[in-house]
Protein backbone atom coordinates (compact mmCIF):
# COMPACT_ATOMS: atom_id res chain seq x y z
CA UNK A 1 0.00 0.00 0.00
CA UNK A 2 1.31 3.43 -0.83
CA UNK A 3 2.05 5.88 1.93
CA UNK A 4 0.15 9.11 2.40
CA UNK A 5 1.61 12.27 0.93
CA UNK A 6 1.12 14.03 4.29
CA UNK A 7 4.08 13.80 6.65
CA UNK A 8 4.05 10.68 8.77
CA UNK A 9 3.52 11.16 12.52
CA UNK A 10 3.45 7.99 14.59
CA UNK A 11 3.38 7.39 18.31
CA UNK A 12 3.85 4.94 21.15
CA UNK A 13 1.31 5.27 23.95
CA UNK A 14 2.12 3.12 26.99
CA UNK A 15 -0.03 3.02 30.12
CA UNK A 16 2.10 3.25 33.30
CA UNK A 17 0.52 0.16 34.86
CA UNK A 18 3.94 -1.49 35.07
CA UNK A 19 7.35 -1.65 33.38
CA UNK A 20 7.69 -2.57 29.69
CA UNK A 21 8.01 -6.28 28.83
CA UNK A 22 9.15 -7.94 25.61
CA UNK A 23 5.62 -7.71 24.14
CA UNK A 24 5.48 -3.95 24.66
CA UNK A 25 9.00 -3.61 23.25
CA UNK A 26 7.85 -5.37 20.07
CA UNK A 27 5.02 -2.83 19.68
CA UNK A 28 7.26 0.13 20.50
CA UNK A 29 9.91 -1.08 18.06
CA UNK A 30 7.43 -1.73 15.24
CA UNK A 31 5.90 1.75 15.55
CA UNK A 32 9.37 3.33 15.84
CA UNK A 33 10.77 1.53 12.80
CA UNK A 34 7.68 2.19 10.68
CA UNK A 35 7.94 5.91 11.52
CA UNK A 36 11.67 6.05 10.84
CA UNK A 37 11.39 4.00 7.63
CA UNK A 38 8.84 6.57 6.43
CA UNK A 39 11.01 9.51 7.52
CA UNK A 40 8.34 10.33 10.05
CA UNK A 41 8.21 11.60 13.59
CA UNK A 42 7.72 9.23 16.50
CA UNK A 43 5.95 10.77 19.50
CA UNK A 44 5.55 9.44 23.01
CA UNK A 45 2.32 9.72 24.96
CA UNK A 46 2.04 8.51 28.53
CA UNK A 47 -1.53 7.28 29.02
CA UNK A 48 -1.71 8.05 32.73
CA UNK A 49 -5.46 8.61 33.10
CA UNK A 50 -6.28 5.61 35.28
CA UNK A 51 -4.60 6.14 38.67
CA UNK A 52 -6.13 3.00 40.26
CA UNK A 53 -4.27 0.87 37.67
CA UNK A 54 -1.02 2.78 37.79
CA UNK A 55 2.10 1.47 39.45
CA UNK A 56 4.13 4.08 41.31
CA UNK A 57 7.29 4.93 39.35
CA UNK A 58 6.27 2.94 36.26
CA UNK A 59 6.11 5.97 33.95
CA UNK A 60 9.74 6.85 34.66
CA UNK A 61 10.84 3.22 34.37
CA UNK A 62 9.15 3.03 30.94
CA UNK A 63 10.88 6.22 29.76
CA UNK A 64 14.27 4.96 30.99
CA UNK A 65 13.72 1.62 29.32
CA UNK A 66 12.90 3.24 25.97
CA UNK A 67 16.00 5.43 26.22
CA UNK A 68 18.16 2.42 27.15
CA UNK A 69 16.84 0.63 24.07
CA UNK A 70 17.74 3.63 21.90
CA UNK A 71 14.08 4.39 21.17
CA UNK A 72 14.30 8.14 21.42
CA UNK A 73 11.04 9.96 20.78
CA UNK A 74 10.64 13.33 19.08
CA UNK A 75 9.60 16.34 21.17
CA UNK A 76 8.36 16.27 24.76
CA UNK A 77 6.47 13.45 26.42
CA UNK A 78 2.71 14.09 26.19
CA UNK A 79 0.97 13.34 29.53
CA UNK A 80 -2.71 12.46 29.44
CA UNK A 81 -3.12 13.34 33.11
CA UNK A 82 -2.85 16.99 32.07
CA UNK A 83 -5.58 16.83 29.46
CA UNK A 84 -8.85 16.84 31.45
CA UNK A 85 -10.00 20.21 30.06
CA UNK A 86 -9.66 18.98 26.47
CA UNK A 87 -11.53 15.74 27.25
CA UNK A 88 -14.35 17.67 28.96
CA UNK A 89 -14.63 20.07 26.05
CA UNK A 90 -14.97 17.23 23.54
CA UNK A 91 -17.58 15.51 25.74
CA UNK A 92 -19.59 18.73 25.78
CA UNK A 93 -19.38 18.86 22.01
CA UNK A 94 -20.82 15.33 21.84
CA UNK A 95 -23.68 16.26 24.20
CA UNK A 96 -24.43 19.31 22.05
CA UNK A 97 -24.75 17.12 18.97
CA UNK A 98 -26.71 14.50 20.94
CA UNK A 99 -24.06 11.82 20.36
CA UNK A 100 -23.24 11.28 24.04
CA UNK A 101 -25.63 10.11 26.77
CA UNK A 102 -25.65 9.23 30.46
CA UNK A 103 -25.82 5.56 31.35
CA UNK A 104 -26.32 4.05 34.80
CA UNK A 105 -26.29 0.40 33.73
CA UNK A 106 -24.37 -1.91 36.03
CA UNK A 107 -22.13 -4.73 34.84
CA UNK A 108 -24.74 -7.16 36.11
CA UNK A 109 -27.43 -5.54 33.99
CA UNK A 110 -25.20 -5.84 30.92
CA UNK A 111 -24.13 -9.44 31.59
CA UNK A 112 -26.90 -11.01 29.42
CA UNK A 113 -25.47 -9.15 26.40
CA UNK A 114 -21.85 -10.02 27.30
CA UNK A 115 -21.23 -6.50 28.57
CA UNK A 116 -22.27 -5.00 25.23
CA UNK A 117 -24.34 -1.84 25.62
CA UNK A 118 -26.67 -1.35 22.71
CA UNK A 119 -28.36 1.71 24.06
CA UNK A 120 -31.32 0.47 26.14
CA UNK A 121 -31.01 3.49 28.46
CA UNK A 122 -30.16 6.07 25.80
CA UNK A 123 -32.99 8.40 26.73
CA UNK A 124 -32.88 8.30 30.50
CA UNK A 125 -31.42 11.74 31.17
CA UNK A 126 -28.73 12.25 33.81
CA UNK A 127 -29.09 9.81 36.69
CA UNK A 128 -26.82 9.95 39.73
CA UNK A 129 -23.64 7.88 39.44
CA UNK A 130 -23.68 7.54 35.68
CA UNK A 131 -21.12 6.85 33.02
CA UNK A 132 -21.19 8.70 29.70
CA UNK A 133 -21.41 6.67 26.51
CA UNK A 134 -21.08 7.37 22.81
CA UNK A 135 -24.12 6.70 20.65
CA UNK A 136 -22.80 4.47 17.86
CA UNK A 137 -25.95 4.02 15.76
CA UNK A 138 -26.47 1.53 12.96
CA UNK A 139 -23.92 2.79 10.47
CA UNK A 140 -21.17 0.15 10.07
CA UNK A 141 -17.56 1.26 10.24
CA UNK A 142 -15.16 0.08 7.55
CA UNK A 143 -11.43 0.55 7.53
CA UNK A 144 -8.41 -0.99 5.93
CA UNK A 145 -5.76 -2.16 8.35
CA UNK A 146 -2.30 -2.17 6.77
CA UNK A 147 -1.56 -5.64 8.13
CA UNK A 148 -4.92 -7.23 9.02
CA UNK A 149 -6.65 -6.10 5.80
CA UNK A 150 -10.21 -4.79 5.30
CA UNK A 151 -12.32 -4.58 8.46
CA UNK A 152 -16.00 -3.96 9.03
CA UNK A 153 -17.77 -3.55 12.40
CA UNK A 154 -21.50 -3.04 12.87
CA UNK A 155 -23.01 -1.06 15.74
CA UNK A 156 -24.83 -4.13 17.03
CA UNK A 157 -21.49 -5.99 17.28
CA UNK A 158 -19.48 -3.37 19.12
CA UNK A 159 -22.07 -1.57 21.29
CA UNK A 160 -21.78 1.91 22.74
CA UNK A 161 -18.40 2.55 24.42
CA UNK A 162 -17.91 4.40 27.69
CA UNK A 163 -16.29 7.83 27.33
CA UNK A 164 -16.29 8.81 31.00
CA UNK A 165 -16.58 6.30 33.79
CA UNK A 166 -18.95 6.33 36.75
CA UNK A 167 -15.99 7.10 39.00
CA UNK A 168 -15.39 10.31 37.02
CA UNK A 169 -12.28 9.11 35.14
CA UNK A 170 -12.08 9.71 31.40
CA UNK A 171 -12.07 6.47 29.42
CA UNK A 172 -9.29 5.33 27.11
CA UNK A 173 -11.47 5.54 23.94
CA UNK A 174 -12.11 9.25 24.41
CA UNK A 175 -8.61 10.20 25.53
CA UNK A 176 -6.88 8.30 22.73
CA UNK A 177 -8.97 9.93 19.99
CA UNK A 178 -8.74 13.46 21.38
CA UNK A 179 -4.98 13.15 21.84
CA UNK A 180 -4.18 11.42 18.55
CA UNK A 181 -5.82 14.44 16.90
CA UNK A 182 -4.11 16.95 19.20
CA UNK A 183 -0.72 15.41 18.41
CA UNK A 184 -1.44 15.30 14.67
CA UNK A 185 -0.98 11.52 14.51
CA UNK A 186 -1.32 10.10 10.99
CA UNK A 187 -0.31 6.48 11.65
CA UNK A 188 -0.98 4.11 14.53
CA UNK A 189 0.99 0.89 14.86
CA UNK A 190 -0.14 -1.10 17.91
CA UNK A 191 -1.19 -4.54 19.15
CA UNK A 192 -4.01 -6.44 17.44
CA UNK A 193 -5.81 -6.65 20.78
CA UNK A 194 -6.91 -3.05 20.01
CA UNK A 195 -8.24 -3.83 16.51
CA UNK A 196 -11.89 -3.81 17.63
CA UNK A 197 -11.35 -0.62 19.61
CA UNK A 198 -10.36 1.06 16.34
CA UNK A 199 -13.99 0.84 15.19
CA UNK A 200 -15.11 2.82 18.26
CA UNK A 201 -12.28 5.25 17.75
CA UNK A 202 -13.18 5.87 14.09
CA UNK A 203 -16.82 6.49 15.12
CA UNK A 204 -15.56 8.98 17.67
CA UNK A 205 -13.21 10.70 15.21
CA UNK A 206 -16.16 11.17 12.85
CA UNK A 207 -18.51 12.30 15.62
CA UNK A 208 -15.99 14.94 16.70
CA UNK A 209 -15.04 15.97 13.17
CA UNK A 210 -11.40 14.93 13.73
CA UNK A 211 -8.99 13.63 11.08
CA UNK A 212 -8.94 9.88 10.44
CA UNK A 213 -5.68 7.96 10.86
CA UNK A 214 -4.19 4.86 9.24
CA UNK A 215 -4.04 1.73 11.37
CA UNK A 216 -1.63 -1.15 11.49
CA UNK A 217 -2.35 -3.80 14.12
CA UNK A 218 0.49 -6.20 14.74
CA UNK A 219 0.17 -9.60 16.42
CA UNK A 220 0.71 -9.77 20.16
CA UNK A 221 3.28 -11.93 21.90
CA UNK A 222 1.57 -14.69 23.89
CA UNK A 223 2.92 -16.75 26.76
CA UNK A 224 2.73 -20.53 27.19
CA UNK A 225 -0.84 -20.14 28.49
CA UNK A 226 -1.88 -18.59 25.14
CA UNK A 227 -2.58 -15.21 26.75
CA UNK A 228 -1.03 -11.91 25.70
CA UNK A 229 2.00 -10.97 27.74
CA UNK A 230 0.85 -8.03 29.83
CA UNK A 231 1.82 -5.90 32.75
CA UNK A 232 -1.35 -7.05 34.54
CA UNK A 233 -0.32 -10.70 34.21
CA UNK A 234 3.15 -9.78 35.53
CA UNK A 235 5.13 -10.52 32.38
CA UNK A 236 8.80 -10.11 33.34
CA UNK A 237 10.05 -6.53 33.06
CA UNK A 238 12.58 -5.84 30.31
CA UNK A 239 16.14 -6.11 31.53
CA UNK A 240 17.67 -2.89 30.20
CA UNK A 241 21.19 -4.27 30.60
CA UNK A 242 20.38 -6.66 27.72
CA UNK A 243 18.90 -3.98 25.49
CA UNK A 244 20.77 -5.03 22.32
CA UNK A 245 19.66 -8.65 22.68
CA UNK A 246 16.10 -7.60 23.55
CA UNK A 247 15.95 -5.59 20.33
CA UNK A 248 17.29 -8.55 18.30
CA UNK A 249 14.65 -10.79 19.84
CA UNK A 250 11.93 -8.22 19.08
CA UNK A 251 13.13 -8.07 15.44
CA UNK A 252 12.96 -11.87 15.26
CA UNK A 253 9.36 -11.87 16.53
CA UNK A 254 8.58 -9.33 13.81
CA UNK A 255 10.27 -11.64 11.27
CA UNK A 256 12.57 -8.91 10.03
CA UNK A 257 15.86 -9.81 8.38
CA UNK A 258 18.46 -10.38 11.13
CA UNK A 259 21.22 -7.75 11.32
CA UNK A 260 24.65 -8.75 9.97
CA UNK A 261 27.42 -9.65 12.43
CA UNK A 262 29.30 -6.37 12.12
CA UNK A 263 26.38 -4.51 13.71
CA UNK A 264 27.01 -4.39 17.43
CA UNK A 265 25.75 -1.10 18.83
CA UNK A 266 22.14 -0.10 19.46
CA UNK A 267 22.15 3.00 17.21
CA UNK A 268 23.64 0.93 14.37
CA UNK A 269 21.09 -1.80 14.93
CA UNK A 270 18.11 0.59 14.88
CA UNK A 271 19.44 2.40 11.87
CA UNK A 272 19.97 -0.83 10.02
CA UNK A 273 16.54 -2.17 11.01
CA UNK A 274 14.78 1.04 9.88
CA UNK A 275 16.59 0.82 6.53
CA UNK A 276 15.49 -2.81 6.07
CA UNK A 277 11.99 -2.48 7.56
CA UNK A 278 9.45 -4.71 5.79
CA UNK A 279 6.00 -4.33 7.26
CA UNK A 280 4.62 -7.12 5.08
CA UNK A 281 7.05 -9.61 6.65
CA UNK A 282 5.37 -9.28 10.06
CA UNK A 283 3.22 -12.39 10.57
CA UNK A 284 -0.33 -11.21 9.81
CA UNK A 285 -2.13 -13.33 12.42
CA UNK A 286 -3.09 -12.32 15.92
CA UNK A 287 -0.50 -14.12 18.01
CA UNK A 288 3.22 -14.79 18.13
CA UNK A 289 4.25 -17.40 20.71
CA UNK A 290 6.95 -16.09 23.05
CA UNK A 291 8.72 -19.48 22.91
N1 LIG B 1 -2.17 2.69 26.34
C2 LIG B 1 -2.53 1.52 25.61
C3 LIG B 1 -1.78 0.33 26.16
O4 LIG B 1 -0.78 0.49 26.84
C5 LIG B 1 -2.21 1.62 24.13
C6 LIG B 1 -3.08 2.58 23.45
C7 LIG B 1 -2.89 2.71 21.94
O8 LIG B 1 -1.82 2.40 21.41
O9 LIG B 1 -3.84 3.18 21.34
O10 LIG B 1 -2.21 -0.78 25.93
Domain ranges of the chain: 9-289
15 Cα: distance to centroid of ligand 1 (angstroms): 6
What pLDDT digit, counting tens, does each position of 149-202 carry? Answer: 999 999 989 999 999 999 999 999 999 999 999 999 999 999 999 999 999 999
**pLDDT band at 122; cut points 50, 70, 90:** low
Q: Is the CB of 62 under 6 A from ligand 1?
A: no
Mean pLDDT over all residues of the chain?
93
Instruction: Report CA(13)–ligand 1 centroid distance (Å).
Output: 5
Judge contact between 238 and 25, C-beta under 8 A: yes
Alpha carbon 225 to chain centroid, angstroms = 23
Fold of 9-289: Rossmann fold (3.40.50)
State the distance from the centre of ligand 1 to the C-alpha of 113, rounded, in angstroms: 26
Report which ligand 1 atom has the smallest distance to the Cα of 197. 9
pLDDT tens per residue across span 1-25: 455 567 999 999 999 999 999 999 9
Q: Kindly state if the Cβ of 29 falls inside 6 Å of ligand 1.
A: no
Q: Which residue has the higher pLDDT, 1 or 227?
A: 227
What does the DSSP assignment read for 93-141? HHHHTT-EEEE---HHHHGGGTT---STTTTS---SS-EEEE---S--E
Q: Taking residues 80-89, what's their average pLDDT? A: 98
pTM: 0.94
pLDDT of residue 279: 96
Looking only at the bridges linking them, the beta strands covering 100-103 and 131-134 are antiparallel
In the prediction, which pLDDT does 1 show?
44
Over residues 225-233, mean pLDDT = 79
Amino acid sequence: MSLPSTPYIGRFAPSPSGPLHIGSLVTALASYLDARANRGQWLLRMEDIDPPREQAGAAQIILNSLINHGLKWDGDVFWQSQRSAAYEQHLNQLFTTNLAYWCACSRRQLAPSNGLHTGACRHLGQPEQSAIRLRIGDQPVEFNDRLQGPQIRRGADIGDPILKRKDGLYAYQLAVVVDDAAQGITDIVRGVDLLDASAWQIHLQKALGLPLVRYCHIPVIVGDDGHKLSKQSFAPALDDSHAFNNLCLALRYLQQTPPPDHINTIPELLNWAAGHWQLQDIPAGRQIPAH
